[in-house]
Structure 1
């Protein structure tokens, strides 16, 4: 009987984990760079709207990354699909900002409705994005 965890499977786990976290961090930083408001400064200051919006961004990015890793045939495949998924999330943010041009001002001003809307867009697009990644 094979051990549930062996060295090669653990190395694969670390490789996929590192790739997933790397893509997540890179995409989260990219989103932070394209938003007019400064998420981390606002979150540190206790801005609930910014925290809600950014948490939604992270979940919205993680959902398709999960699907990319789960359905991938190789580490490179997971990386490529993960990057594509993150690009879709960035476009979704830009479309949300086009639909509600004051969304960044609302988040900065701690208008929680703006943060909830931004989080909702990220999560809903992330779910559709993840579902579209079928083997």
Structure 2
């Protein structure tokens, strides 16, 4: 009877864990992005469909801002529950960053609706900077 190589055994043992961890992380990313879209006063998807570049830049920043700390959590977490907890923290922090930039710029949703790239770029910068700090703090 042929024996399975240690590499195949390791893959077979690790693949279900990989699927669970990756799936939970992707679900958190999607839920976080959906929460962001639902909680911001402007409607990014509609604006993007109308050709609003600022809305596309802003939503792209949301995805990157969520993905960076989620990837760090995925790397550093031992189980799905830990990934979920840190994922929830990541989503809340990114929503707070939006609010902070809105306070600084006054009228961020209106600016994005009007296609103001500078406002969207500042938001993306704040989101990525925060994401990198949260990811480093997590790992």
Q: TM-score, normalised by structure 1?
A: 0.93
Give the Cα–Cα distance (whole angstroms) in 1 for the partners of residues 48 and 123 of structure 2. 15
* Count of aligned positions: 134
Residue among 44, 56, 62 paired with 2:49? 44
Residue among 95, 102, 120 paired with 1:90? 95
Q: Mapping of 1:1-135 within 5 angstroms?
A: 1-3=5-7, 6-134=11-139
Give the Cα–Cα distance (whole angstroms) in 2 for the partners of residues 56 and 6 of structure 1. 34
Give the Cα–Cα distance (whole angstroms) in 2 for the partners of residues 54 and 70 of structure 1. 24
Please give the secondary structure, in 2, of the residue aligned with 1:83.
helix
Please give the secondary structure, in 1, of the residue aligned with 2:115.
coil
Please give the secondary structure, in 2, of the residue aligned with 1:6.
helix
| Structure 1 segments unaligned to the other structure (5+ residues) | none
| Structure 2 segments unaligned to the other structure (5+ residues) | none
Give the Cα–Cα distance (whole angstroms) in 1 for the partners of residues 107 and 14 of structure 2. 48
The alpha carbon displacement at 1:8 in A equals: 2.7
Q: TM-score, normalised by structure 2?
A: 0.90
Q: CA RMSD in A?
A: 1.3
